[in-house]
Structure 1
Amino acid sequence: MAAATGVGAGDLVATMVAGSKYGYTLLWAVLVGTVFKLALAEAVGRFHLTSGRTILSGWRTLGRWALVYFGAYALVWGFVYGATAMSSSGLPLNALFPAVSVRYWAILCGLIGLALVWFGRYSVIEKIMTVLVGVMFVTVVGTAIMVAPNLADMGSGLVPRLPDGSLVYVLGLVGGVGGTITMAAYGYWTLAKGWRSSGWLSMMRMDNAVGYITTGIFVIAMLVVGAELLAGQQVVAGDTGLLFLGDKLAADYGQWARIPFLIGFFAVSFTSLIGVWNGVSLLFGDWWRTWQLPSSAPEQTTEDYERTAGQRSPAFRGYLLWLTFPPMALLFLDKPFQLTVIYGALGAMFMPFLAGTLLYLLNSRRMPAEGRSHWVSNFLLGLCLALFAYLAVNEFVGLFD
């Protein structure tokens, strides 16, 4: 779930563009980004398993401001992301079946995602995601193998270097690998799996490592494709860059190469849609539950959450509808690039909040000893906070350029 949701079409395009401009020189940045996101997701999972509370219950202890920030952010982000995810899923379907426009493919994808998450149990959703991850692996990694990566050049890319003009790409690769707000949903997925105590820490860490190693493999595969197939070419911005790659594969290898890649493009986009529809709706359902508690209420446990929130709660379903129907209006604006810019800025603004609050909560005296962060986790979370704060300021300033 974490790997599939965190890797979206935008991540693949950004990595592909970096590969086309700088070859394998920025491979090290992909690996650093994978380590950062692994540290963040491990911290989220550890908080849930050892504190006996959800992340929203933890944020409640910081003050009302944290709940106000998350609630406002989730509403604005969900409105923009809903349109982004649906249009990203519709693009490859339109390329495969052009008789139906992108707009209506996008609407259909949103409705299918709504039905799957509304009626499907977590175990069913996880099985569907597993199949789609298999499709992603075969098509995306298969494409990288087909274009024959230069292993010597890949090895040289492990040495950190900053070519002229590459800083923005480095920051994007380090900060963009593996999701934003969906990282906070990881703890809710551990609960859905039945992991509810510190006895599951080793399992969670193995699960987290497998998920983000998979994420790293996907992103490295797209760097390979950019370096080998698109070197020196001007790649189209936004999700349409993957359509450009499909056309390039068709020109170089024949139509047979284009079709499986477009199927993989759809799997990448649609898994992100399903994961957000489920995971962020779980977050919002818990936010609504936590928001309604009086200030005098005791600290809430995961048992309190499971009794009053979860996949069948009105707030979960209300947010699911919010992700699906209001954003459909944006699909008629025909301005996907502007949506991508706004979505990127919003995503960047959540990450310093997540890293900073995890640093505080996991070093609090309220945390049991087995859940507290040691120096490695604190070092990585501190680096994440500094990087994501810089990215947030940079993205915000970019909106007004």
Structure 2
Amino acid sequence: MNNQNSHYSANQTEDRSSTPNNQQVPQPPQGWNQLKWLGPSFIWMLSAAGSGELLFTPRIAALYGYELLWALLAAVILKWFINREVGRFTVCTGATILEGFQHLPGPKNWAVWLILLPQFVVAISTVAGMAGAAATALILVTSGTVQLWTVIIILVTAAIVFLGQYNIVEQVSSYVGIGRTLAVVIAAIFVFPSIRDLASGLVPQVPQDVQYQEVLPWLGFMLAGAAGMMWYSYWVDARGYGATALKQEQPLEVKQLNADQQQRLQGWISLMTLSNTLAVVGALLAALAFLILGGELLRPEGLVPQESQVAETLGRLLGDLWGSFGFWFMIAIVFITFCSTTLSVQDGFGRMFADGTQILLQGFGVRGRWTNEQFLRKFYLVTLLAALPVAVYLLFGEPVSLLQTAGGIEAAHIPVVTGLTLYLNHRMLPEKLRPSKFIFAGTVIAGLFFAGFAGIYLLQLTSVIGGANGA
């Protein structure tokens, strides 16, 4: 289990095994006290801000206008279903989603391997791409190259997470996130398009000569990718939602709980649903604002955020409205957002890989420090989330391309996470705590939606259908 968390360390001071087996699931908070429990969803929302919203949405708008508005709405709404099911498992069992996958029937830990292996590529590419995008803002105000600042950003953010100071930075980033959302929403109101233009994008359509290597990463990172939705499990666990407060060594036998205990878990699911919904609404507002700004300000001038010009091009989103102040305000937003997202990525992946590695090595009978979760987190921070991203960026040095690679894998991985999570909830939860038929159907549709886009991308990549050349 995830024993410590810098966001909510107060909930993690007691080892799971020290809690008596007869401890009761706590009562869910009521009324205004619920506001104190919204943190996991807010952190989850912020973790996706740097790619799905800030980078790829203006880029898609610059390329295709509002033709893919329907896909944006579908991606965000459908991820609400998936994220809710991931959260449901952790709230009800007290286990992280990877620990749940460990208990699926079949070859030992097969599902954990299926999750972790592709995510190694995603982790390296995302950290390198995010830091590289942040560096494009620094070169506008300082001397030095993008490569130099990228290396510095990766090392500094990794050190912050390594030393346990991420919670302080995250609090500052939260306020910046709120300010960013308010600024872009206000700016979007200033340039709001005609209702006819927006309405035309609500009709499912595919732009002529669409490049799925552009669209798939956008949809994959929008709100959260496969990894981001699994991180939600860790943040819910760390905050102490539902059964996670019991600090169990193994997933709770939910089917053996009495009616009162199951009723309490239903209350926690309702709170998690509220938190999840608020995060989705906030992310959707920001994404729509960025789509409008990109469509109204970048597309008419043929500007597309790319590689070393990412920050400069994004600066036009507010600079064209509010002059020099707007430009530099946006540059600051770009830098802080990409840096804070890099921190979230390093923190989330560090937890997920430590948890997964612990599960796998214990399955082989390994003991000692290589199954110590804190040691593994720091090991992955130094190697996979710092040293390797530095090496990859110095070799390739293209932040947009790196993030497109990561986003494509994330989108293709979402149906896998969706299917495994639905099966896990059906297998381990009593009927009273399982998703309703409506929620189950919505989650299945979500998995099929992303599987469809991933399949079309592969067909385009292999030239089975047209449009394989990049935009």
Q: Which has the larger radius of gyration?
A: 2
- Select the residue among 163, 184, 187 that pairs with 1:143: 187
Partner of 2:148: 104
Partner of 2:115: 70
Deviations 1:102-150 (A, max 9, x none): 12222222222212222226754542331231242244334324x4213
Partner of 2:36: none
Compute the displacement of 1:334 (Å).
Answer: 4.6
C-alpha distance in 2, partners of 1:251/1:53? Answer: 49
**1:194 is aligned to 2:240:** yes
- Select the residue among 133, 146, 152 that pairs with 2:195: 152
Deviations 1:308-331 (A, max 9, x none): 865xx1111111122111210122
Partner of 1:391: 453
Partner of 1:131: 175
Residues 126 and 43 of structure 1: CA distance in aligned 2, closer, same or farther (over 3 Å): farther
- The alignment of Structure 1 onto Structure 2 pairs a total of residues equal to 386
**Aligned-residue RMSD, C-alpha:** 2.9
Work out whether residues 34 and 216 of structure 1, in 8 Å CA contact, stay in contact via their aligned partners in 2.
yes
The residue type equivalent to 1:192 in the other structure is: A
Compute the displacement of 1:222 (Å).
Answer: 0.8
Compute the displacement of 1:174 (Å).
Answer: 4.8
Partner of 1:212: 280
Of all paired residues, the percent bearing the same amino acid is 24
The residue type equivalent to 1:258 in the other structure is: F
Compute the displacement of 1:260 (Å).
Answer: 0.5
Work out whether residues 355 and 382 of structure 1, in 8 Å CA contact, stay in contact via their aligned partners in 2.
yes
C-alpha distance in 2, partners of 1:253/1:45? Answer: 41
- Select the residue among 397, 413, 427 that pairs with 1:350: 413
Compute the displacement of 1:8 (Å).
Answer: 2.1
C-alpha distance in 2, partners of 1:132/1:113? Answer: 17
User: Larger deviation: 380-389 or 185-194?
Assistant: 380-389
The equivalences for 1:242-281 within 5 A come to: 242-247=311-316, 250=319, 253-281=322-350
The residue type equivalent to 1:57 in the other structure is: E
Compute the displacement of 1:253 (Å).
Answer: 4.6
C-alpha distance in 2, partners of 1:252/1:48? Answer: 45
C-alpha distance in 2, partners of 1:257/1:237? Answer: 17
Partner of 2:80: 38
Residues 107 and 377 of structure 1: CA distance in aligned 2, closer, same or farther (over 3 Å): same
Compute the displacement of 1:223 (Å).
Answer: 0.9
- Select the residue among 20, 23, 32 that pairs with 2:62: 20
C-alpha distance in 1, partners of 2:204/2:45? Answer: 27
Compute the displacement of 1:173 (Å).
Answer: 5.5
| Structure 1 gap ranges (5+) | 297-307
Work out whether residues 20 and 230 of structure 1, in 8 Å CA contact, stay in contact via their aligned partners in 2.
yes
Partner of 1:301: none
C-alpha distance in 2, partners of 1:157/1:320? Answer: 45
Compute the displacement of 1:163 (Å).
Answer: 5.7
User: Larger deviation: 336-345 or 120-129?
Assistant: 120-129
- Select the residue among 119, 138, 160 that pairs with 1:116: 160
C-alpha distance in 1, partners of 2:236/2:166? Answer: 11
Work out whether residues 113 and 274 of structure 1, in 8 Å CA contact, stay in contact via their aligned partners in 2.
yes
- Select the residue among 277, 283, 289 that pairs with 2:358: 289
Compute the displacement of 1:170 (Å).
Answer: 6.9
C-alpha distance in 1, partners of 2:433/2:165? Answer: 29
* TM-score of the pair, normalised by structure 1: 0.85
Structure 2 SS opposite 1:293: helix
The equivalences for 1:152-171 within 5 A come to: 152-153=195-196, 156-157=199-200, 159-162=202-205, 164-165=207-208, 168=212
The residue type equivalent to 1:60 in the other structure is: Q
C-alpha distance in 1, partners of 2:315/2:434? Answer: 47
Residues 116 and 138 of structure 1: CA distance in aligned 2, closer, same or farther (over 3 Å): farther
| Structure 2 gap ranges (5+) | 1-42, 244-264, 366-370, 463-467
Partner of 2:222: 177
Deviations 1:192-226 (A, max 9, x none): 21223324222211211111111111110111102
Structure 2 SS opposite 1:165: coil
Residues 94 and 372 of structure 1: CA distance in aligned 2, closer, same or farther (over 3 Å): same
**1:362 is aligned to 2:425:** yes
Structure 1 SS opposite 2:54: helix
Deviations 1:337-371 (A, max 9, x none): 5423422332223212111111211222x213343
User: Larger deviation: 386-395 or 355-364?
Assistant: 386-395
Residues 142 and 210 of structure 1: CA distance in aligned 2, closer, same or farther (over 3 Å): same
Residues 267 and 387 of structure 1: CA distance in aligned 2, closer, same or farther (over 3 Å): same
Compute the displacement of 1:158 (Å).
Answer: 6.8
